[in-house]
Every structure is written in structure tokens, then in C-alpha cells.
Amino acid sequence: MYSTRKILSVKSVSVKKLHGYGHLEEIMVKRADCQLYKFKEGDFVDLHLNDIEDMLLLAVQHKLFHLTESDIVDFIVDLRMFTGSLVIKKRVEDLQLGVESY
């Protein structure tokens, strides 16, 4: 799933509403190689931090105008959650490596 190509745009997001909360199911993006890539829910954990950063920058720059406001909010919330989980995962790995190096 990892790619060094920059994400240029978010083409679509699929959000499932459950108990009043949006749950991101799928993201379709266009990368610098002009190809469309689809990330399904299970693929989100494999996204690189740069991919998440590219998508959050698009949101901050208001380049998601073709999406509904509620989809944008759900998209940003989910990306922030995945960012947090990636950071925690990395810190745990660093701690485990530090303990094993003794």
C-alpha cells in the first residue's frame, strides 16, 4: 500500500452512518502518477504517515469542496484517529526495541 507518490486529490469517500457517527469505509485518491487508488477500511492501518499528511493538507487547504460537509468532517476525524494510532504504534515499537537492546 505504501507509495512514495504524493496524493494530489481525494476523489471520493464512502461513509457509513451508524448511531449518529460517520464511519469511513473507503477513500479514492489520485496520486502524482495520475492513477486512482482505492483504500478500503482494512487498508487504512497500512497507510504511510505521508499519505495521511497529504490528505489532511488537502482538507486544510479546502480542496475537498466536492464532498459534503459531513463527509469532510468524518474524513478528517478518521484520519486524525489513524494518525494517533500510527504514532502510538511507532512509540511502542521504539520502546520494545529499547528494552530488547539491553
Which is more confident, 35 or 47? Answer: 35
> What's the pLDDT band for 19 if we cut at 50, 70, 90?
confident
Q: In the predicted model, what is the mean pLDDT of the chain?
A: 83
Cα–Cα dist 20/62, whole Å: 25
Q: For residue 42, give the 3-state DSSP assignment.
A: helix
- Is the confidence at residue 100, as pLDDT, over 60? no
> How much is the pTM?
0.71
Interior angle at CA 58, CA 81 and CA 5, nearest 5: 90
